[in-house]
Structure 1
Amino acid sequence: MKFICFECAREYPVAHPVIYRCECGGLLDTVHDWRHTDAEQLRRLFDMRRADRHTPLSGGVWRYKELIHPSLPIEHIVTKYEGNTGLYEHELLRRYTGVRRLWLKAQSENPSGSFKDNGMTVAVSHGLWLGWERFACTSTGNTSSSMAMYAALAGKEAVVFLPAAGVSLNKSLQTEAYGARLLRTEGGYDEGIRFLEQYAGQLGLYVCNSINPLRIEGQKSIVFELAHDLRWKLPDWIVLPGGALSNASALGKGLEELHRIGLIESLPRVAVIQAQGASPFHAMLRSERRQLHPVLSPDTVASALNIGNPPNWPKALRYAIERTGGVTASVSDEDILAAKSVIDRSGIGCEPASAAAVAGLRKLVADGTIGPDETAACILTGHLLKDTEAIVKSLSAGIPAGRYPAAAATAIRLDAEHVARALQA
């Protein structure tokens, strides 16, 4: 295992003093040697670990340690047994999207409530191995709460650069509750990333954003576990939201590795869904450019997608789009909130960014990109309670939201006649 520059192929050892970009400016990629890997032996090993409880390798990330960070000493693993998330089918959602069969992988069930835990356990564990004391990130909310949780678990300090606007109150409160030091900053996520890339070393901060290649390695486990859940036979499509594009990069990379090793027989296609107010990756591909033009003022109800200059777009382009024959789509806030209401009514629930995946799948079926006879899995990235402001917005906008209006209804007298009348309304 080694780090290789994504642009010029210069090599760095995994225990190298931490850098996040090559001297040429390219992102670092983690490369493994799979030449002597036995797929059948790995299947048996993963099945055995899945039956374990409360061991460092029993969670849904470190179960696949050989495919993620084989050289990390087990005693440095910081884990809350993340992963092991639910995989759900629901007829309401299948009919809503229009595919033959649909699964939803609820990464919202992770310990901090989002998919970020899959990558953060690896990034923090690696930083602990290297001896770091202060862990940092810039965040629109999910990254910060996940990093703060793992830093606290490891007994280390967490420093979070949080945009002054556009971040869910729930997420910032969760981050503070874990003991992180929050620095409210001018500008957004993109400015925060640029600052950390320039000054993190000088300030003694170990960066846990997705420019850290170990974050990507951990997030691959989402697709590893999905394949394991489905007995190593994946659906035709995997559909996920795209903000910083770390997940698109990770899942595309993970799929390629599963296929190369022989754990799956064929590659599914990946669909990356962005919100219309923050869709520079989709705009790039639609125009057939190969250089991303940032959105200077991203704006979407899906706060986790409110990123105008996604740092991982070159990796997402190669791994999710080019290698799998993937596609992108852009959906409106109205489409996102409408899909969210259906996901919530199904009993699964999610934050708006997650709902972008279901809204995007519905759109891709409607325009013929995905056929009605095909199968799909949508990745739900964040918990319903991550962004309660969005529920209020969906009600005030008049978007159907199942039984939510009852929460805001005028109080009634508690007698049989009045209750019966309310139930008929």
Structure 2
Amino acid sequence: MQNTLMEDRQLSSTPKFSAKYVPFNADSNSTESYHLDEIIYRSTSGGLLDVQHDMEALKKFDGKYWRSLFDSRAGKNTWPYGSGVWSKKEWVLPEIHCVDIVSTFEGNSNLFWARRFGKQVVGMNDLWVKNCGVSHTGSFKDLGMTVLVSQVNRLRRLNKPVVAVGCASTGDTSAALSAYCAMAGIPCIVFLPANKISMAQLVQPIANGAFVLSMDTDFDGCMQLIREVTAELPIYLANSMNSLRLEGQKTAAIEILQQFDWQVPDWVIVPGGNLGNIYAFYKGFHMCKELGLVDKIPRLVCAQAANANPLYLYFKSGWKDYKAVKAKTTFASAIQIGDPVSIDRAAYALMNSNGIVEEATEEELMDASAQADSMGMFTCPHTGVALAALIKLRKKGVIAPNDKTVVVSTAHGLKFTQSKTDYHSKQIADMACRYANSPVQVKADLKSVMEALSNFLQQHSKS
């Protein structure tokens, strides 16, 4: 705590950093803005809001200063700067007091060289995986929730009318929100689509003490209801239309640059559902470029499940014809969204990063995930979507063998054990499950065991 106070005093002698809500992608003549302490989710025109930082104040310090500051905090135990999110506090929520911050020191997730998968599956030398699923609740959603719940903590201390925080969720959002609310002692309300999320995901908000409503609809139906409810009751909306979450999520992009010693990769591939994350990555990379930490940004790829692919169809139309779709069931349940809130944000990010969109069928994503698992990566289905997109882009020659490429893994594979079990037991209808690895049933005697082992060793001696 002493180090925190010293750093607060040091920052107090520098220009005052600030941020505000503005309409997303507003005209340069727009004067509409709101203080972050206001409870507001949409602009007067009904569009999304964005958090805009005082860039002139931030630019009083050069890129070398910011790189040194962020690097000096990384992985330390100084509150709250040891968090991968709050180590960039001046770029996230510059005006929040440290006592209001609710954190598990999220972020700082490992970026590992996927050497074997890269060489054997896609013929690449420089493939990396940003393992955002290695976090407190097992997904990247923690990065955004620490920011949102910290701001709610501040609002309640300021006696703003917030009695609870609510979200619609396909699993990971509710897990993260309920955990951070539980740490802060703030009531949490969750709307879930019945029978559409894994048991491992359902148990998290329940165990965290949230009030869970299971509804006979899909995510889009839950989202519509939570928006109507939060318009009527003093319940703070925590879904990604709330731009505070993106401020935390963008720090994963900054972390990637840090972990590469501020060298910019060629490509970053992100699974996309409600599409806030692809914009958050763009925002993090762009902010680093604008403030002089790097001189370019990577090309972004948004990977969608073919069963929930409105952004892919929009991209294929040349960004001319967007239509929401009715999302079909996908093993990548967290991105089973047909009418994404952040469609405009995602299109903006991709157009401004020379980015592209690729899709993956159910068989492609499950096969890609199984291949990765067999090489020790143990991926969630959403990461399978991103890996399948990578495989397709390599086959098309869009991504070159020597391109430095990062695949963002968004959740922990242990949340999706049922789908993995079904795959390896070949219980998925109309799917070949080409990389299934079923247990071999043998009698409990030495002869049977030796025969099975002999067959196994002979097969591997030939490979």
Q: TM-score, normalised by structure 2?
A: 0.87
Task: Report whether the alignment pairs 1:3 with 2:33.
Answer: no
Amino acid at match of 1:419: V
User: Structure 2 stretches of 5 or more lacking a match?
Assistant: 1-18, 157-161, 457-463
Amino acid at match of 1:73: H
Q: CA–CA distance in 1 between the matches of 2:231 and 2:390?
A: 41
Aligned to 2:142: 117
Aligned to 2:403: 374
Aligned to 1:347: 376
Query: Superposed, which structure 2 residues align to 1:131-142 within 5 Å?
Result: 131=156, 132-142=162-172
Q: SS of 1:387's equivalent?
A: helix
Amino acid at match of 1:399: C
Query: Superposed, which structure 2 residues align to 1:167-186 within 5 Å?
Result: 167-186=197-216
User: Structure 1 stretches of 5 or more lacking a match?
Assistant: none
User: Which of 30, 35, 38 does residue 14 from structure 1 map onto?
Assistant: 35
Amino acid at match of 1:12: S
Query: Superposed, which structure 2 residues align to 1:61-210 within 5 Å?
Result: 61-95=85-119, 96-131=121-156, 132-210=162-240
Alpha-carbon distance, 1:411 to partner: 5.5
Alpha-carbon distance, 1:337 to partner: 0.7
CA RMSD after TM alignment: 1.7
Q: Deviations over 1:154-177 (max 9, x none)?
A: 111111000113211210112211
Q: CA–CA distance in 2 between the matches of 1:50 and 1:172?
A: 32
Amino acid at match of 1:256: H
Q: CA–CA distance in 2 between the matches of 1:120 and 1:264?
A: 27
The more displaced of 232-241 and 195-204 is 195-204
What is the number of residues matched between the two proteins? 420
Q: SS of 2:35's equivalent?
A: coil
Q: CA–CA distance in 2 between the matches of 1:412 and 1:65?
A: 60
Aligned to 1:328: 357
Q: Deviations over 1:1-26 (max 9, x none)?
A: 11111154453333343111112111
The answer (yes or no) to whether the contact 1:339–1:359 under 8 Å persists in 2 is yes
* Aligned structure 1 segments of 4 or more residues deviating by more than 4 angstroms: 7-10
Alpha-carbon distance, 1:299 to partner: 2.3
The answer (yes or no) to whether the contact 2:268–2:298 under 8 Å persists in 1 is yes
Aligned to 2:303: 273
Q: TM-score, normalised by structure 1?
A: 0.95
Structure with bigger gyration radius: 2
User: Which of 405, 408, 412 does residue 438 from structure 2 map onto?
Assistant: 405
The answer (yes or no) to whether the contact 2:146–2:180 under 8 Å persists in 1 is yes
Q: CA–CA distance in 2 between the matches of 1:297 and 1:231?
A: 40
Q: CA–CA distance in 1 between the matches of 2:61 and 2:42?
A: 29
Amino acid at match of 2:373: D
Q: CA–CA distance in 1 between the matches of 2:290 and 2:125?
A: 28
Q: SS of 2:50's equivalent?
A: strand
Q: CA–CA distance in 2 between the matches of 1:29 and 1:394?
A: 41
Task: Report whether the alignment pairs 1:303 with 2:303.
Answer: no
The answer (yes or no) to whether the contact 2:319–2:347 under 8 Å persists in 1 is no
Q: SS of 2:438's equivalent?
A: helix
Q: Deviations over 1:205-226 (max 9, x none)?
A: 1111101111011100111111
Q: SS of 1:299's equivalent?
A: coil
Change (3 A) 1:60 1:401: farther
